A and B are shown apart, each in its own frame.
Chain A
Amino acid sequence: MPVSLVIEQALNGLQFGVMIFLMAAGLTLIFGVMGLINLAHGSFFMTGAFACAATAAATGSFLLGLAASLAAAAAAGALVEVAVIRRLYARDHLDQVLATFALILIFSEGTRWLFGSFPLYLDVPQALARGVMLPGGIQYPLYRLVVIVVGLCVASGLWLLIHRTRLGMRIRAGESDREMIAALGVNIAGLYTAVFAIGAALAGLAGALVGALQSVQVGMGEPVLILAFVVIVIGGIGSIRGALIGSILVGLTDTLGRFLLPSAFGLFLDPSAATAFGSALASMLIYILMAVVLIFRPNGLFGVA
């Protein structure tokens, strides 16, 4: 098979991984700082996609749509944190799972109520809706390249935010000792709301960017949420670096597995059996990857015991 096709699929995998990172970063940040497992994170992904699709349809501007997605997801995040999540920090994980599961039901059904059950479509912005020629003669959609670049920029921005700003210093301090930082006069409630809103905004951005590649519909967030969980388990909870490396690993494994496995099985099986085996195994590949990481590093690649 041609090398250019493999490179193209690898780029798709990278783009997929970068999107999962935007989800996983928020989740891992929220877990690291507040100790909260948030199933409703996929709902912010959906909120972002719907906000972007609705705004872009109304104004015709994808950039305005992106701004709307960030604003809507951050607002939804802050609102949910103040109304519900705040009461869950001191509870055990079971209560958190159940309450955020309830939030998913409310968000999904609420969105269906507002927008109907038909998927919305979000077009790739005009300026980016073309292919570019990469070195080696590979034709690749510009939009996907831009998505990769945006994702990597957000990743470095997040790193700068956490390691080089006052807010980031407080976030790190909150991670290690919440009583101490509260005693030093930091408004811990406000800090938590801010962290939650940042995480939600990242998920919303991912939703908007992905929304242009697939249809915008209710329930689009949960498959990505579960992938983000896998990423966090692989990378180690609370570690942004682990989330980035885990995301790219998962994105590449999934995309290349789906692409390569059926043809690999085709070398020694007849075509229909090869497709069946290959696609079944490919859909399980990232979970197998997770299991392998777990056997050797129960706390993930970058997790602390």
Chain B
Amino acid sequence: MNRETLANTVILAALAGIPVLAHLGGEPFVITLATRIAILGLAGVGLNLALGHGGLVSFGHAAFFGVGGYAMGVLASHAQAWTPLATWPVEIPGTNLMPVIWLTAILAAGLLSLVIAALSLRTRGVYFIMITLAFAQMAYYFAISWPAYGGEDGLSIYVRNRFPGLNTLDPIQFFAVCFTLLCLTLALMSRITGSRFGLLLQATRQNPARVEALGVQTYRIRLFAFVLSAMVTGLAGALYADLNRFVSPSMMSWQMSGELIVIVILGGVGRALGPVAGAGLYVLLENQLGGISDHWQIFLGAVLLWVVLFARGGVLGMLCDRRSADG
């Protein structure tokens, strides 16, 4: 077992074990924190595919996170008001069934990302960063100025959505749902990164000209990676909105995009469990520093600067042998 596998096992075991202990000890707040870590980690795992493996620095993933959130908000608000979502050509009712909401979130994020990626991938480097940011802002302003679903104030959902056979209002059961989804996605990601597509994506990041010379269209590889990445982030968005029972345009703000990047980088870019470690560190920092001072973001900024300037490779990069992840 190399050091990264060991670290990955410890991270997952801690993330699964601590909420169970908290449940036995009657500390629901800790369970909520762990749920946040699992969900933000999931969003980061999505972003990591584009950013880490594909080298596509998207500063707009909050758009997909928010679209996932709104998929939940819109469906659930129609379900709680007993109004149909659409009446033409067929009547579509709202729903509060989690699997349906997840599927909708994934599809909606996938569709939006297809449009954004098709345009943005015409560019490279710093243009790409700015354009993904600008498209996310477009989604953000659209959410603010569209009054039907709460506009600037957002949408509240009174009861958490249902999952057949579970009581999702029980923190530990909702955590179990989120954690299971995280693990399934991690398993899927490990299959994807080891597949032909995953290797081509790595190669496209490292040397696009060579991949083109092999007869592979790098544009398609990048497009597919970006859309897949957005879908995972969209799923995380639906869960996040369900955790808070609230969705608002701030889920699509540029700060959210920044936070997602921070999570990926804190943990270690391109590493399977980097985003989960990053999310854990981020949520813990937020809580610990927030307890010390109202101005905790100054310290967060300082920690981030330190990580970028001196501790490249993130937490997992420091813990594990650097070379093991370069492949």
Chain A interface residues toward B at CB < 8 A: 31, 37, 84, 87-88, 91, 93-95, 97-99, 101-106, 108-110, 112-113, 222, 226, 229-230, 232-233, 237, 276, 279-280, 282-284, 287-288, 290-291, 294-295, 298-300
Contact = CB atoms under 8 A, between A and B. Distances in A.
B131 interface: yes
A84 B144 CA distance: 35
B137 interface: yes
A211 to B, nearest CB: 21
28 contacts: A37-B126, A37-B130, A87-B309, A93-B126, A94-B261, A97-B129, A98-B262, A98-B308, A99-B304, A99-B305, A101-B261, A101-B262, A103-B305, A105-B300, A109-B298, A109-B301, A113-B295, A226-B134, A226-B254, A230-B130, A276-B145, A276-B148, A283-B138, A283-B141, A287-B135, A294-B122, A294-B123, A295-B122
Given A103-B305, A104-B258, A109-B297, 4 more contacts: A98-B262, A101-B304, A230-B130, A294-B119
B88 interface: no
Given A94-B57, A230-B134, A284-B142, A237 B300 contact: no
B25 interface: no
A291 B60 CA distance: 15
B119 A97 contact: no
B126 A226 contact: no
Interface residues on B, range: 35 or more
B139 to A, nearest CB: 9
B51 interface: yes
Specify the main secondary structure of chain B where it touches its partner: helix
A68 B127 CA distance: 33
Nearest to B143: A280
A109 B295 contact: yes
Nearest to A272: B147
A94 B305 contact: no
Nearest to B137: A226
A233 B130 contact: yes
A289 to B, nearest CB: 10
B207 to A, nearest CB: 15
A290 B307 CA distance: 34
A280 B149 CA distance: 13
Contacts of B105: none
A237 B145 contact: no
Contacts of A109: 295-298, 301
B278 to A, nearest CB: 12
Contacts of B232: none
B226 to A, nearest CB: 16
Q: Which of A102, A222, A233 has the most CB of B within 10 A?
A: A102
B175 interface: no
A-B interface, 3 closest residue pairs, ranked by CB to CB distance from nearest: A105-B301, A102-B304, A287-B138
Nearest to A287: B138
A112 B304 contact: no
A105 B262 CA distance: 12
Given A105-B304, A109-B298, A222 B130 contact: no
Interface string B298-316: 1011101101110010000
A93 B304 contact: no
A31 B125 CA distance: 12
Interface string B227-270: 00000000000000000000000000010001001100100010
Contacts of B134: 226, 229-230, 233, 287, 290
Interface in B31-59: 51, 57, 59
B158 interface: no
Contact of B265 (A98, A103, A226, A282): A98
A233 B131 contact: yes
Given A229-B130, A294-B119, A103 B301 contact: yes
A101 B297 contact: no
Contact of A99 (B123, B144, B254, B309): B309
Contacts of B142: 280, 283-284
Interface string B271-308: 00000000000000000000000011110111011011
Given A37-B126, A226-B134, A237-B126, A284 B141 contact: yes
B282 to A, nearest CB: 12
